[in-house]
Amino acid sequence: MHVHGQWFIEPKTNRTVLFRGVNVGGGTKVPPSIPSHEPAGYWKDYDRKVTFVGRPFPLEEADMHLQRLVDHGFNLLRFMVTWEAIEHEGPGIYDEEYIDYVIALLHKCQGYNLKVFMNPHQDTWSRHCGGSGHPGWTHLLAGLNPDEFAATGAALVHNVYPDPENFPKMIWHTNYQKLASATMFTLFFAGKTFAPKCIVNGTHIQDYLQSHYINAFKQVTQRIHAEKLQGDVVIGYDTMNEPGTGYIGKDNITKLSDDDVDFKKGDMPTAFQGMKLGSGIPTKVERWVFSWRGPKKDGQVLIDPGDARAWLSPSDRTAVDTCFSWKRADDWHPGCIWALHSVWDPSTESVMRPDYFSSHPITHEPISYQHFWLDFVKTYADMILHFHKDAILFIQPPIMEVPPSLPAKYKNLAFAPHWYDGLTLVKKQWCNYNVDYINLKRGKYGHGPLRFLRALRIGEKAIRQCFVDQIKTLKEEGCETIGDYPFVLGETGIPYDMQPVKASVFSRAVSYVMVHLLGLARMLVGKFYPINGPVSPQNKAMDATINAAERNLVSYTLWTYVPDNHAIWGDLWNGEDLSIWQESVIPCSSIQDKDNGSVTDTSSDTLLPDQPDSLSNKKMNVIGTGMNARNIISLHRPHPHKVAGTPLSIQFTSPTEKTRASYTFTFQPKKETEGPTEIYVPFVHFPTLEGELDIAVSSGKYEMIARNDKYWVLAWWCDNNNADEQTLHLTGITQTLI
């Protein structure tokens, strides 16, 4: 795959490739046996013996899953691999069984003509500080003790949360600002600057961490090269997923961010308060809630760690050093490394250098997180390009931040930021209002509280345009700083566990009749719209999200595909529930009662507030139907996979009870291409039966070149001598439920 300006180009035919993809998958964040809500098995023997074989799905099931993704029209996978999965047992000890599994799965992808870009995934550093990605031993290397993170407020960890079913929504993201994660990212990117005493085995911890990270992913990259999977399957590599900034650049460690749109929720210690708590000092911290205009302070709370410390005791550190064969510098004493570097004084509980992280501690020259991040990216990219010289580097800066410029020597680039509708993601509700968050954060609406009113959008039409505008801003920023390269929305998606919306009497009647006529156990009990109907909040949110990508003519990879998504625990990680797939199940009891006319609802309990208590039993015996319980209408839409020219516009109208599905695509032909424009078309909205499908093209001919029971592919050859803008229009059917 080549890049030319803002487009991906298929080398053999010179056709433009527009990617519609999915992240595979969210389940890769956790070992198969230790979902984030499960305390059993967590942090045993430093989590050295975990395995990620089978994530994202078992190899023996790969054909089923990959065909399912192809049936949905996906032609690109963002393939998640974590550092922990490769090097969990200890520094330099690689899980060859897991690497073999990854390679075998990539070979499977080749058989389905799926392109892949590899994603070194992490969130807030590791599972052990409330996220995912990096090995547990990295905390021990820094002198941290994950056993005490929860008690000291160093991290909020689902596995040890006292009430896992009521783990606060999206609160995991605040771990980026807490002691454990912030310390690790500071050491990883800028440890030599801010923690010069942290030397182990004669190597500074920054170099130690970065070299092991890069060498871990080198094991995968060189195997991909050896197996000849590069280019044909693996087209490129992401940089680190959503990297944290740690304390780097923080002006004052005694204050929270002054930016009133920065995410704050729950207990929010300042950096200094986090350091005190980590050393066992009881501290009052602010508590925050989330409102329509963003975070809002909601009082204070006292956190008392008791006897707990976030740092290893001298005896525990000695045991750890023996286990991993570490020899630390003589002046690296046990305890808080920030006290060790005179940032604060535990004996007086006072700050010595509140601005320590805002400039170089010795020279006092200005510092920039982007500078440290770029140094790492260049080293990582050079490793990748050594094995795969034509690899596309998918550049991902910290989430919601403006990307930096890259050195001119890197030619094969794509800008791959993430974007979510934050209001819906946090509130778990599709509201009749929203906020133009990206442009608000970029200062488009000025200063002061009135800017929130200027950024406010009310009504469906305004909200949809607001999403389009935000992606447009991100795309323009990428062109200005990284250059004229393709844009891929690396992550976007919706929460499926939204608050349900009341349905009309007509919709409830249709749902009832369809379920009983078809014998499907998928009816929404009570008075709420079914998820697979046109007016469900999930359908509206997904349609608005994908429409924003299509209107901006950008490629995207949806978050996420988790085939073992659970009706109660969602994606099995921190209460998130964004998987496009959840297998519909039938309780055994309902099968036994089928002769008596019993039909039992089996949709996700997060969508059904009135469902029977028996369906909330986590140990209930069920049988999978092989059907998708969250088969929303707008996920199924045509997509131009290969274009014999330059795409100009995409417009899809999602069908309703009264409106037929329609799709319009325009492009500018290029004579120097080979082959037709190929468009994926889902059967569910565009069946090929006479009278149910209308096709109109501005010139040339078209035909169906591939089909199965889920989709067909339309091939369109324009007139050879016609250089004008070309248009295709499809009209399908209406939909009540699918």
Active site amino acids: 242, 491
Number of Cβ within a 10 Å radius of residue 463: 23
3-state secondary structure of 575: coil
3-state secondary structure of 230: strand
- Pairing relationship of beta strands 283-291 and 203-204 according to DSSP bridges: unpaired
Task: List all residues 6 or more positions away from 706 whose beta carbon is below 8 Å from its beta carbon.
Answer: 712, 713
Backbone angles phi, psi at 382, to 5 degrees: -65, -35
3-state secondary structure 185-219: HHHHHHHHHHCCCCEECCEEHHHHHHHHHHHHHHH
Identify the bridge partners of residue 394 per DSSP, sorted by sequence position. 238, 414
Of 645, 641, 630, the closest CA to residue 711 belongs to: 641
3-state secondary structure 108-122: HHHHCCCEEEEEECC
How far apart (Å, rounded) are the C-alpha atoms in residues 700 and 717? 5
How far apart (Å, rounded) are the C-alpha atoms in residues 398 and 538? 27
Q: Confirm if 132 and 175 have CB atoms less than 8 A apart.
A: no
State the DSSP string of 523-567: ---SSB--TTSTTSHHHHHHHHHHHHHHHTT-EEEEEEE-TT-BT
- Pairing relationship of beta strands 203-204 and 266-268 according to DSSP bridges: unpaired
Single-letter amino acid code for the residue at 578 = L
H runs (alpha helix) in 432-536: 437-441, 450-455, 460-481, 505-518
- Pairing relationship of beta strands 639-643 and 16-17 according to DSSP bridges: antiparallel
How far apart (Å, rounded) are the C-alpha atoms in residues 293 and 66? 41
